[in-house]
Amino acid sequence: MRKPKESRWFAEVEMTVQFYDLDPMEIVWHGNYVKYLEVVRCALLDKIGYNYPQMKASGYAWPVIDMHLRYVAPATFGQTIRLRADIVEWENCLKIDYLITDAASGRRLNRATTTMVAVDIATKEMCYVSPPVLLEKLGIL
């Protein structure tokens, strides 16, 4: 997996790893990284004014159709981590690159990508081009 590209549309969130996110080995269970991606993705969508309620109001659902995660180093209880999300594609889909690092040292813990596509809520049909509302929210139109 390549290094996440930085974009002009990004968000960062810091959070402390909680006990309930750990596995029996006392590190963050691998499935919880998906939850961390959702936390920073929502911060990013809020930043552009197009989070899930606005998506629904615009007539589109945006399901995640592809996700890749690369685990580099474990996160542990009490560790403060920085989550970053960057929009890197928007024409035909909404592709977001993620980087999770240790907040104190900057050490990389995880890289990830998600791809979301617009689905017309009324017809349940996938759109092969992102609807104009996304481009408006990104300031392109």
> Tell me: the pLDDT tens digits for 86-128?
999 999 999 999 999 999 999 999 999 999 999 999 999 999 9
User: How many domains would you assign to the chain?
Assistant: 1
Quote the pTM value: 0.93
CATH (domain of 27): 3.10.129.10
pLDDT at 74 over 60: yes
Residue 4 pLDDT > 90, yes or no?
Answer: no
Structural domain span for residue 109: 10-137
Residue 99 forms beta bridges with which residues?
Answer: 84, 111
**Domain assignment present for 3:** no
Asked, for residue 1, whether it belongs to a domain, the answer is no
Rounded distance between C-alpha atoms, residue 132 and residue 87, angstroms:
16
Rounded average pLDDT over 77-81: 98
pLDDT, average across residues 23-46: 97
∠ CA 110-108-50, rounded to 5° = 55
Structural domain contains residue 22: yes
Q: What pLDDT does residue 124 have?
A: 97
Q: Is 56 a residue whose pLDDT tops 50?
A: yes
| 63, pLDDT greater than 60 | yes
Q: For residue 1, name the pLDDT band (cuts at 50, 70, 90).
A: very low
The predicted structure's pLDDT at residue 5: 60
Taking the C-alpha atoms of residue 22 and residue 19, their distance in angstroms, rounded to an integer, is 6
- The CA-based angle 125-51-62, given to 5 degrees, is 20
